[in-house]
Amino acid sequence: MWGGRFSASPNALMQAINVSISFDKRLATQDIAGSQAHAAMLAKTGVISSEDEAQIQHGLSLILAEMEAGTFPFRDEFEDIHMNVEARLRELIGHTAGRLHTARSRNDQVALDFRLWVREACDRSAAQLADLQRALTAKAERHAAVLMPGFTHLQPAQPVTFGHHLMAYVEMFGRDAARFRDARARMNECPLGAAALAGSPFPIDREMTAKALGFDRPTANSLDSVSARDFALEALSAASIAATHLSRLAEEIVLWMTPQFGFITLSDAFTTGSSIMPQKKNPDAAELIRAKVGRILGSLTSLTVVMKGLPLAYSKDMQEDKVPTFEAFDALELSLLAMTGMIADLEPNTARMAAAAGAGFSTATDLADWLVRTLDLPFRDAHHVTGAAVKRAEQLGVDLADLPLAELQALNQGINADVFSVLTPAASSASRVSYGGTAPDQVRAQIKRWKDILR
Ligand code: ARG
């Protein structure tokens, strides 16, 4: 491509470090789309003839067909996807192929291709997050009133419902999807036409190519156009946060699957056995999802360090943007699909969950609240009386609900038998009717809201 200035071939190591076709072939369809829009614009503005454009468009459609058929020859000697396409175009239509690169550089070409790829990845991730939210919402609806312990510090805290717990993740994944939509809106400006770095002397129509490629507008500074990769950093940040949420849910599935918790069952479809221990049923998919955040956050770190300190405009360092970004989105998408499958698959062991919901004096706060409401005790005093009741129940080896009334009256004479109506996990959860609380009716209201959003 630059034989005019060069007379010798590159050293083999030069080629080895420079070549990118092995990974940037993933930009093939974006590269063709960019070239189709560019050629149409060059003809419309009279920079090339319509006959030349017709030939170029024909050649590009042949190349696209070869790519779809898997017969396109990706060749190392042509370095990257842009030059592979151009070299093939020349083989197919002859010297007219050379007119396609008028008013364009690989710098704005790669900026465009990569932006298109990241934009699609954001759209896919947002859609897959919505699928996961749908699976969670469906499961939550079926188990809106199933009691389970709510934890703080992983210690029994207050009873909640399984539906409520699942809907907490629907909120998180909803914000994750919104982050991808925000990033998409910000990146949706077209860098094509910035050329190498300074713009073009040809009468190009950047509005036209921007519109053809689904962008809101062209980018407004040619130096920034070829130098910016913050759209990818932003997408990777959104991916990292989503992966963090996935890892938290994955960790809970791992915990719930243990015989010690025994809260859920996963079918054989989402578990593996052990080659030595016949009794094992391992939640490998959940463990791998828990781990993927390492790779995804690693990609964000990797690209951030690549971009840090780079002077304007394009530097070849930026070729290192692709592998981490591809890797991160591959990992995120696989995690989202596997998690969606696992959520649909898992079944709660409701009796076991309900029994655990009452363990660990989880209705102690309800006793304290009853003392405040019924006997008008200041909350701090009620907290103290309740602490003594828990201590006494512990000594007697019984739950709070099974403490004899006389024992409670020994702590405060005003206590009567009505107190037992608030000491069961079901009563505790049903009482938490504040907006967003765990009362089954509140949970169902949030499920309905999300079903409308996700429809
Ligand atoms: N393969 C290059 C990349 O991925 C394309 C841009 C090359 N531009 C250049 N001036 N060498 O960044």
What is the number of the ligand 1 atom nearest to the C-alpha of 322? Answer: 4
* Centroid of ligand 1 to alpha carbon of 76 (angstroms): 14
CA distances to 123, 381, 418 from 386, rounded to whole Å, are 52, 9, 16
User: Does ligand 1 have an atom closer than 6 angstroms to the CB of 366?
Assistant: no
CA separation for the pair 146, 391 (Å, rounded): 28
CA separation for the pair 321, 235 (Å, rounded): 12
What is the number of the ligand 1 atom nearest to the C-alpha of 79? Answer: 1
* Centroid of ligand 1 to alpha carbon of 84 (angstroms): 13
Residues 326, 276 contacting (CB under 8 angstroms):
no
User: Does ligand 1 have an atom closer than 6 angstroms to the CB of 110?
Assistant: yes
Q: How confident is the model at residue 176 (pLDDT cuts 50, 70, 90)?
A: very high
What is the number of the ligand 1 atom nearest to the C-alpha of 314? Answer: 10
Both tokens of 276, joined, read 């030595």
The reported pLDDT for the residue numbered 6 is 84
User: Does ligand 1 have an atom closer than 6 angstroms to the CB of 319?
Assistant: yes
User: Does ligand 1 have an atom closer than 6 angstroms to the CB of 80?
Assistant: yes
The reported pLDDT for the residue numbered 418 is 95
Residue 33 has pLDDT above 90, yes or no: yes
The reported pLDDT for the residue numbered 274 is 80
**Mean residue pLDDT across the chain:** 96
Q: How confident is the model at residue 79 (pLDDT cuts 50, 70, 90)?
A: very high
Both tokens of 242, joined, read 């989503």
CA separation for the pair 180, 178 (Å, rounded): 5
Ranges of H-type helices in 143-229: 162-187, 206-212, 222-227
* Average confidence (pLDDT) over 16-38: 98
Question: 104 — phi, psi (to 5°)?
Answer: -150, 155
- Chain length of the chain: 455
Residues 366, 426 contacting (CB under 8 angstroms):
no
- CA 58-60-61 angle, to 5 degrees, is 65
Both tokens of 83, joined, read 């030059």
Nearest CA owner, ligand 1 atom 3: 319
The DSSP secondary structure of 42-53, one letter per residue, reads HHHTTSS-HHHH
The reported pLDDT for the residue numbered 214 is 98
Residues 139, 131 contacting (CB under 8 angstroms):
no
Q: How confident is the model at residue 224 (pLDDT cuts 50, 70, 90)?
A: very high
Residue 73 has pLDDT above 80, yes or no: yes
The reported pLDDT for the residue numbered 210 is 98
Q: How confident is the model at residue 5 (pLDDT cuts 50, 70, 90)?
A: confident
Give 269-301 pLDDT, tens digit per residue. Answer: 998 888 888 888 899 999 999 999 999 999 999
* Centroid of ligand 1 to alpha carbon of 85 (angstroms): 14
Q: How confident is the model at residue 18 (pLDDT cuts 50, 70, 90)?
A: very high
The DSSP secondary structure of 295-349, one letter per residue, reads HHHHHHHHHHHHHTTPPSS--GGGGGGHHHHHHHHHHHHHHHHHHHHHHHH-EE-
Q: 272 versus 334: which is more confidently predicted?
A: 334
Q: What is the pTM of this model?
A: 0.95
Give 418-431 pLDDT, tens digit per residue. Answer: 999 999 999 999 99
Could you give the residue numbers annotated as active site? 153, 274
CA separation for the pair 198, 226 (Å, rounded): 10
Residue 167 has pLDDT above 90, yes or no: yes
* Centroid of ligand 1 to alpha carbon of 240 (angstroms): 27
CA proximity to 26, closest of 325, 229, 313: 325
Q: For the ranges 1-10, 97-106, 335-344, which has the lowest average pLDDT?
A: 1-10
User: Does ligand 1 have an atom closer than 6 angstroms to the CB of 24?
Assistant: yes
* Centroid of ligand 1 to alpha carbon of 239 (angstroms): 25
The reported pLDDT for the residue numbered 449 is 98
Residue 389 has pLDDT above 90, yes or no: yes
User: Does ligand 1 have an atom closer than 6 angstroms to the CB of 318?
Assistant: yes
* Average confidence (pLDDT) over 209-218: 98
CA distances to 73, 78, 84, 136 from 87, rounded to whole Å, are 10, 7, 5, 49
